[in-house]
A and B are shown apart, each in its own frame.
Chain A
Amino acid sequence: MEPYHMNLNLKVWRQKNCKTKGEFKLYRVENISSEMSFLEMFDVLNEQLIRDGDDPITFDHDCREGICGACSMYINGKPHGPWQANTTCQLHMRAFNDGDTVVVEPWRADAFPVIKDLMVDRTAFDRIIQAGGFISVNTGNAVDGNSLPIAKDTADTSFAAAMCIGCGACVAACKNSSAMLFLSAKVSHLALLPQGGPERKSRVINMVAQMDKEGFGACTNTGACEATCPKEISLTNIARLNKEYLFASITAGR
């Protein structure tokens, strides 16, 4: 595809910190190349704002190759923007046309308070992992890696769940701000592997309790999370989580 240039109108959420009220502000960027990434377009805008003596827009970003999970923009009503299975940093300006108006907001969820502008606090996810998203094995205890064969299908399914990048798009997409897809990805990753067996019940019970404590909403199976997930984490993980939770609950204490 031949590169082209465009002028865009941006409607961006500005908020000084979590204690002040935010608002949309309008900006115009010109001569944007279709080969730029969405964040590079924001770089252009920020350079412009700094030169004009305005405050640049704060947003999270780091690896810019779709794997660290830092970037988190709600673009035209969809987390990470219009492309399927994609992160904001990998969204390229080819997705837009000259004259478009693009609306950019932060993730909206009680459990993800705004720090500034488009940057939110996602430490709730870390605390959910702290509640049980691990296998309790100290360094040095391990036996030979090949002493525990794992069927390829099982390993692949576990890997597909483990691909979650913890970006929070699932929460942002959900009308209930539920963290079930994130949580179920971790529970599935570990429950599918024999190594995760010994803590299988306590893990799911404790992680769900922590999720509730953090103020995430309940799951009503609308599937918006799966549709928006940049790593295409499957809804079947939520089914597995529910099964794990049910089994753990009814057999608690045994």
Chain B
Amino acid sequence: MLDAKIPAGALDDKWTDYKGHCKLVNPSNKRKLEVIVIGTGLAGASAAASLGELGYNVKAFCFQDSPRRAHSIAAQGGINAAKNYQNDGDSVFRLFYDTIKGGDYRARESNVHRLAEVSNHIIDQCVAQGVPFAREYGGLLSNRSFGGTQVQRTFYAAGQTGQQLLIGAYQALERQIALGNVKMYSRHEMLEIVKIDGKARGIIARDLVTGKLEKHFGHAVLLCSGGYGNVFYLSTNAMGSNVTAAWKAHKKGAAFANPCFTQIHPTCIPVSGDHQSKLTLMSESLRNDGRIWVPKKQGDNRKASEIPEEERDYYLERRYPAFGNLVPRDVASRAAKERCDEGYGVGTSKQAVYLDFAAAILRYGKIEAGKEGNDHASEDDIIKSGKEVVKEKYGNLFDMYEKITGENPYEVPMRIYPAVHYTMGGLWVDYELQTNVPGLYALGEANFSDHGANRLGASALMQGLADGYFVIPYTLGNSLADEIYAKAIETSHPAFEEAEKEVADRIHKLMNIKGTQTVESFHKRLGKIMWDKCGMARNEKALQQAITELQVLKKEFWSDVKIPGGIDEMNPELDKANRVADFIELGELMCIDALNRNESCGGHFREEYQTPDGEAMRDDEHFMYVSAWEYAGESNWNLHKEPLVYEVIKPTQRNYK
């Protein structure tokens, strides 16, 4: 069932050869071809804009009121590229190698190498669009470090890199809308894929303002709908981020790959109470300068400022001297959980560790004093100028922290704890980003392809834009070249009618349950099951329990959910119910996948499989494959394995010590 269609030849040459030989569609034929793009984040907006520029007829959909609000906008830290502007030994190969290693050897070599190759074009493209990246005094682009690397390859725009990149892609998209090449459908949610003769030929979408269902034809459908972190209820994802588009595709035949690979980000603002609706990330870039520590004494209730230096345990620096505070996310998250579980946590909940900038403030202050030739600066002056430097680098993050917690992180260390942030799993795609359903593609976080079992920081933006700007314009043409004789199918075709009826029936069913429990309460319960039993640490018994609990939850949802309002109007509760219903089903598949993978790798940590010092223990002999799950009816899936063949890199145990 699965053919990854990896081009033959040396790894370095695959993409160049592919581009040299793939089929093309001439401009007059592009005008006759229609492409549907779901989602307008970095992947969707860049794809829709680039395909519009090429002359395809594009229809783009997003559930937000404007494409500019897609959740890519919230990415903070940066975007990686192998430019080697810092002369510190970076190269395409190193970016490729770091990404494969960071993913704990569970990603496909060919896709990751291509990602590293196009990374440099992304920076150039964004600069040309007017993305105001941070610059040095000489006018050239600035870089910083991120976790899991030893070079400075991250480009950034203060703590708002995602915003600036998305605005760039959004502007390119709006330009194509103005030119008539792209038609934009905002406040629309995709609720079904339409398949005709085995190919994806369109979608059913719901206009969220009027509640009306719409049928849209496309010669191809691109899902750029992001990740499914909200299955955990609390995550750093936006409130609206959901799996529905991908899940509908899955139920229509597209395999779902590695669903259990979820990323728990180590530096988020801790949960403050039951009212919490979402969690907020504090960018990984803070680990460039912040030092993570807990008290050496268990249950230490003193304030951070009262704990002297020698009684602090900088546990990341202690355990991983080579990478220190910049170990990859999965490693840093587990280490924080380990300390808190052992009783060293801080704050009222004891579910937090410190991220401390005092040392960085002093260091920068001394550098500033040195620049001014002031050898006798007082400590107060040093701290004052140090704070200014830190403010310039991370000011917006510090402000956000203070608004949420009411504490000033320039004076007291931040309290942080891991939180769900990203999902490496997603729809299975081949080298061309096509799912196993012909004509159906998945880009960005919605697919599974590039990050293996753990994504490195600043690589999500890179992948979203790589897929949209530089991969899909080539690979889509390769199959659409065979479609130039295929006329657009009228949406009166029985397949469209049938799909529309399915959607309408489901909505009626939901609205007619008229139960007693709110959608939100079900979502919270789902999140708790997933976080407790399929979160940062998993084991066989808990996962089996979770599956049973999820099946019960699903039954209860479909018999007792209470949705107010009507169908033919703006009804956010109904939208949410549709999404939560899909999340519950996905949750079950995630647990099944986690149960099947009897090893620990990257973000997937099975307590039964760890080294004596608590590191993840992979089992390459039995699990060096992508788990691609085929939907086979309710609570039933068939596993297909795509073996991962490493031709260039030799997998070893990841070592950041």
Contacts and interface: CB of A to CB of B under 8 A. Distances in A.
Interface of A: 1, 3, 16-17, 33, 35-37, 39-40, 43-44, 47, 49-51, 53-56, 58, 60-70, 83, 85-86, 90, 92, 94, 115-116, 119, 121-123, 125-126, 129-131, 133-146, 148-152, 155-156, 158-159, 162-163, 165-166, 189-190, 193, 195-196
Contacts of A47: 518, 520-521
B469 A63 contact: no
B138 interface: yes
A162 B126 CA distance: 14
A156 to B, nearest CB: 8
Contact of A151 (B126, B139, B565): B139
Given A142-B125, A150-B139, A193 B132 contact: yes
Contact of A92 (B140, B157, B175, B406): B406
B326 interface: no
23 contacts: A17-B569, A35-B406, A47-B518, A47-B521, A49-B564, A50-B573, A51-B518, A51-B562, A54-B564, A63-B239, A64-B278, A66-B403, A68-B71, A69-B68, A69-B69, A126-B66, A130-B175, A137-B128, A139-B49, A143-B124, A155-B132, A166-B66, A189-B132
Interface of B: 46, 49-50, 53, 64-69, 71, 73-74, 83, 85, 121, 123-130, 132-141, 157-158, 160, 162-164, 167, 170-172, 174-175, 177-178, 184, 186, 209, 236, 238-240, 272-273, 275-278, 280-281, 399-400, 403-404, 406, 469-470, 473, 518, 520-521, 562, 564-565, 569-570, 572-573
B44 to A, nearest CB: 14
B186 A135 contact: no
A159 B239 contact: no
Given A139-B473, A146-B85, A116 B570 contact: yes
Nearest to B171: A134
A40 B275 contact: yes
Contacts of B276: 40
Given A39-B277, A125-B66, A137 B129 contact: yes
Contact of B564 (A56, A60, A129, A195): A56
A159 B73 contact: no
B158 A90 contact: no
A35 B273 CA distance: 8
Given A54-B564, A162-B157, 17 more contacts: A40-B277, A50-B564, A62-B240, A64-B238, A65-B400, A126-B66, A129-B170, A133-B171, A133-B174, A134-B172, A135-B171, A137-B125, A146-B83, A149-B139, A150-B135, A151-B135, A152-B139
Contacts of A150: 135, 139
Contacts of B130: 135, 158, 189-190, 193, 195-196
Given A43-B275, A159-B158, A163-B163, A143 B128 contact: yes
Contacts of B53: 138-139
B551 to A, nearest CB: 25
B569 to A, nearest CB: 7
B124 A92 contact: no
A247 B281 CA distance: 44
Contacts of A143: 124, 128
B135 A68 contact: no
Nearest to A59: B572
Q: 3 tightest CB-CB pairs across the interface, nearest first? A: A149-B139, A134-B171, A142-B124
B64 A139 contact: no
Contacts of A140: 121, 125, 469-470
A56 B439 CA distance: 40
Contact of B403 (A43, A90, A126, A130): A90
A43 B64 contact: no
Contacts of A131: 178
Contacts of B50: 138-139
Contacts of B74: 63, 65, 67-68
A16 B177 CA distance: 30
A63 B71 CA distance: 7
Contact of A55 (B64, B85, B172, B564): B564
